[in-house]
Structure 1
């Protein structure tokens, strides 16, 4: 069988599996909301940042990990992890940044890591609302520091979705392998299968075993994740349905930038070996980014996979991020998103 036919066959198999996983549009059961300013405002509290967790207005706790000096840092990083992962994913980056005087707070997002109702989907709106609350809390604690938001994969999609709705109060944005595989970038057979599988089995747990896709070339790291009890291994259909909706919202971000006078410096990172967020989906997203936005820079990695900061070449990615944080200037091999960006053109012409 030719390589093209193998890829096509694999693509159809993955599409059919994902269609089952990403559907349940009518019968999904989201995690219950603990408080509402309309229905039960008496159950809401004032959000606060505690020593090891942040409390949201409904009392929900978001545990965090912190790296670096917390007295008077000049730069604060707020880290959002990827799907089924948790705050520990920021350890390599956070530890490196701490050596350069940058403090990193990485939070377990709702439904992930050590949070309550782990494995359940808590709605796109709740995830973006939590992000805005975390930004306010860190701003209040460190009023003189520059606040940089770094999102990896799903975390980047949360950042994009929130910022597309209304500008975030941040001084910079780093998007690591952003999850932008929206329905608009899925092939017709996958969209058809999504529609066919809708309204079914929201509580079904799927592992994805047997699908030949790997998120990284760092096999020891992947084996360690496989043994980590806080990394979700079997995913509920409702959560996969939810992240697809989140990605649909995230791809609205480029259009939102066209109507704004100011965009904080933004760095977008993507590995050309990424098989989790297909190049076609990424290229579709990048193609929509305004070409006259000097604050937005792109960095591609020829040997980068999906978990860029934890790949075998992760040290280079981490160094690039640290360099950019100290002064958002063009990195070696990167630059503005434009037609003359040769690595981007090469990537997108092949897909």
Structure 2
């Protein structure tokens, strides 16, 4: 009895509510774990078969190809789509690049489009391995030809993390179109903390962007088509959103270690990925790649560009810049939109803390 009374007094001391809150949070976190796609169980040599790309674990992903229609192919591009999107994102860009001598390969990443595990996050390590497998395939199909990555938003983040990993894809460089780097470091403690609690308590709850006053593009007809497209995901599981934030964390961290040639594209009217994390990324990339005369890191900023740059109303100029860089990484960009990445004054970003 004395032990019970002593314990009760301890529980009513000031600060006890903190223990109770912590206990509640821990209970919520242990209630449900975020769901993650499982990898395949077989082993395959990556290859293309029946309109699908077969990855090393046997998983088959829908593939779209736009072979070069020029007299001779000059380069190849592996295109990775953004979050909730799928390979149809390149339905106009693919043929435009093919007409310039660039063969394009785009697949539905796991969890998206008609890919397996629709709506379930696959993990960014798996997504990076898929890119490495696709690069092996394209290298076999086009020996000796330059091969580049092209990633829109989430796709750009996948390329960044893959290039910084031990399983680096065999690509010669990459175009990062509005790369998704809005990680927890710049998101703030409250949103990231709330997301952690929700991802472990109600991971399967689906959220919709309906009602949010965010414009991903000024191309309204294109956005309406996406709204009618059954393969474009309209409602997203909370744990999948958490997985995306994990990827953005990893991509921002990877920007300290990237060494390849990169063209970063960004629109000044982007309402999806803010300027602050983008500039933090650029500051880190400037240090890791260098900004000497060889121009390993290049930046194009479009004053009227939104997030979905090459699908915007002015997307043709973005397409021309992409093609120009892929074919000659040292040539001036046709749009004249190139900006210094970090220099004060004339640069897009003020000097950035690139820790």
Query: Would you call these one fold, judging by a TM-score over 0.5?
Result: yes
Give 1:87's aligned residue.
87
1:65–1:229 Cα change, 3 Å: same
8 A Cα contact 1:309 1:318, kept in partner:
yes
Give the aligned length: 314
1:32–1:168 Cα change, 3 Å: closer
TM-score, normalisation: structure 1: 0.84
1:134–1:335 Cα change, 3 Å: same
Alpha-carbon offset, residue 315 of structure 1: 0.8
Distance 2:30 2:219 in 1: 34
1:346–1:314 Cα change, 3 Å: farther
Distance 1:175 1:87 in 2: 16
Larger radius of gyration: 2
1:25–1:303 Cα change, 3 Å: farther
Alpha-carbon offset, residue 264 of structure 1: 3.2
1:67–1:195 Cα change, 3 Å: closer
> Structure 1, residues 231-254: CA drift from partner, whole Å, max 9, x if none?
011111121111110111101222
- Secondary structure of the residue aligned to 2:133 is helix
Give 2:134's aligned residue.
134
The RMSD of aligned alpha carbons is 2.2
Alpha-carbon offset, residue 283 of structure 1: 1.6
8 A Cα contact 1:297 1:336, kept in partner:
yes
Give 2:238's aligned residue.
237
8 A Cα contact 2:340 2:346, kept in partner:
no
Q: 2:33 aligns with which of 11, 27, 43?
A: 27
8 A Cα contact 1:25 1:198, kept in partner:
no
- Secondary structure of the residue aligned to 2:286 is coil
Q: Which has the higher contact order (CA 8 A, sep 6+)?
A: 1
Distance 2:210 2:197 in 1: 22
Extract structure 1 runs of 4+ deviating beyond 6 A: 23-26
8 A Cα contact 2:199 2:242, kept in partner:
no
TM alignment of 1:186-205, pairs within 5 A: 186-205=187-206
Alpha-carbon offset, residue 54 of structure 1: 0.6
1:119–1:191 Cα change, 3 Å: closer
TM alignment of 1:93-132, pairs within 5 A: 93-132=93-132
Alpha-carbon offset, residue 168 of structure 1: 3.1
> Structure 1, residues 125-158: CA drift from partner, whole Å, max 9, x if none?
1111111111111111111211011000000000
Give 1:38's aligned residue.
none
Give 2:11's aligned residue.
none
Distance 2:345 2:302 in 1: 13
Alpha-carbon offset, residue 346 of structure 1: 7.1
8 A Cα contact 1:80 1:106, kept in partner:
yes
8 A Cα contact 1:164 1:252, kept in partner:
no
TM-score, normalisation: structure 2: 0.83
